[in-house]
């Protein structure tokens, strides 16, 4: 699909899919807060969620739900049924990651609107990426195992496990991010990318993930009070164990997935460009790297990605 054509359906995003579902959540949240107040029960984090649900509903009710439509002729933003923003597709400038997994759609004249990077928002992001003029994407200068391409062009060989090459019976998910994310705190956008895998490789990944947290768990267990650590007596080993537990946990949460995926699947280093339209990844197996590049057909062209060594894969 190229800009200016009319052979693509309208892509639509709504701020809220169903008012009925939202009202049910509001009712549940309201009942929970009333019961907690009457019986003096502390809801902790659930209370925060309840207030957030009620507050979000109130804001949407006051300002009105948005409907964003995109097709090859242009981009239109409606609120309360009225057209609030309209631009031709050619005026789309860039995507800018915001907080809490949202993205700003910025136009050449500075006008902008926002969408979440999940659900319907993902469809919008892919549409915008595919609407750009096609280009050959070159990988970074370091490492011959790097590929970089449009997110919408990334494909994996169907029916074959990316880890061992056997017949694929399921899928495995990889996360690509344009910012940073640590536990529940993040800034930027994350996209979930799926690849075919066999049950054995997927199971190995799951058990490796669990086993990796054994060290920090055991170290923290030693730190906790118990018969092996008499109270009131300084123990240098407990201090070392605490440092090991915390540092191991931080490393695993931040880089653990990349380490597991590199070992089991030979795929790692997934990263999004700042405007979230391109993805970069490392592929250990030369054959798989060649296959991915061969399948990475940019919209409207027969040219796939170019790897870090400058090899162009033409279909």
Radius of gyration in angstroms for the set of CA atoms belonging to the chain, rounded to a whole number:
24
Nearby residues of 144 by Cβ (< 8 Å), 6 or more positions away: 307, 308, 309
pLDDT at 205: 87
Residue 307 is predicted with a pLDDT of 40
SS3 148: strand
Q: 64 — phi, psi (to 5°)?
A: 90, 150
User: Do 268 and 261 touch, CB atoms closer than 8 A?
Assistant: yes
**Residue whose C-alpha is closest to residue 240's, from 255, 218, 262:** 218
pLDDT at position 299 = 45
| Residue 197: per-residue pLDDT | 92
Cα–Cα distance for residue pair 97/271, rounded to 1 Å = 13
Tokens of 155: 């494909």
One pLDDT digit (tens) per residue for the chain, 315 residues: 343 444 456 888 888 877 788 888 889 989 988 888 888 877 777 888 888 888 888 888 888 888 899 888 889 999 888 898 999 888 888 777 777 678 888 888 888 898 887 777 878 887 887 666 544 444 444 456 888 887 777 889 888 899 998 899 998 988 888 766 655 555 667 778 889 999 999 998 888 888 888 878 877 777 776 555 555 555 677 777 778 888 888 787 777 788 888 888 989 888 887 767 778 888 988 888 888 887 875 444 333 333 444 443 332
Q: Which residues pair with 176 in a beta bridge?
A: 191
At 52, phi and psi to the nearest 5? -65, -40
Q: Would the pTM count as exceeding 0.85?
A: no
Torsion angles phi and psi, residue 17, rounded to 5: -70, -45
Confidence at residue 306, expressed as pLDDT on a 0 to 100 scale: 39
Structure confidence at residue 152 (pLDDT)? 75
pLDDT at 76: 92
Q: Are 57 and 22 within 8 A, CB to CB?
A: yes
Expressed in angstroms, the distance from the first to the final Cα of the chain is 18
């Amino acid at each position: 699909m190229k800009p200016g054509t009319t052979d693509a359906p309208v892509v639509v995003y709504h701020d809220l899919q169903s008012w009925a579902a939202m009202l049910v959540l509001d009712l549940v949240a309201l009942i929970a807060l009333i019961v907690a107040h009457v019986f003096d029960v502390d809801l902790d984090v659930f209370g925060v969620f309840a207030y957030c649900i009620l507050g979000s509903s109130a804001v949407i009710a006051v300002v009105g739900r948005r409907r964003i439509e995109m097709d090859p002729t242009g981009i239109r933003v409606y609120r309360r049924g009225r057209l609030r923003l309209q631009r031709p597709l050619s005026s789309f400038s860039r995507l800018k990651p915001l907080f809490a997994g949202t993205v700003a759609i910025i136009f050449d004249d500075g006008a902008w609107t926002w969408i979440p990077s999940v659900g319907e928002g993902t469809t919008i992001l892919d549409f915008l990426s595919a609407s750009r003029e096609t280009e050959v994407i070159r990988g970074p200068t370091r490492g011959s195992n790097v590929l970089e391409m449009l997110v919408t062009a990334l494909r994996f060989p169907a029916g074959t496990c990316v880890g061992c090459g056997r017949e694929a019976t399921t899928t495995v998910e990889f996360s690509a991010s344009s910012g940073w994310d640590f536990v529940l705190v993040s800034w930027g956008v994350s996209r979930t990318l799926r690849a075919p895998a066999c049950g054995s490789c997927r199971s190995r990944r799951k058990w490796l993930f669990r086993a990796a947290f054994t060290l920090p768990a055991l170290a923290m267990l030693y730190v906790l009070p118990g018969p092996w650590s008499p109270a009131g007596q300084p123990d240098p080993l407990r201090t070392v164990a605490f440092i090991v537990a915390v540092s191991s946990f931080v490393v695993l949460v931040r880089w653990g997935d990349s380490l597991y995926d590199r070992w089991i699947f030979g795929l790692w280093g997934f990263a999004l460009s700042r405007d979230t339209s391109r993805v970069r990844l490392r592929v250990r197996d030369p054959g798989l790297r060649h296959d991915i590049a061969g399948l990475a057909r940019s919209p409207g062209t027969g040219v796939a990605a170019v790897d870090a060594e400058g090899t162009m894969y033409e279909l």
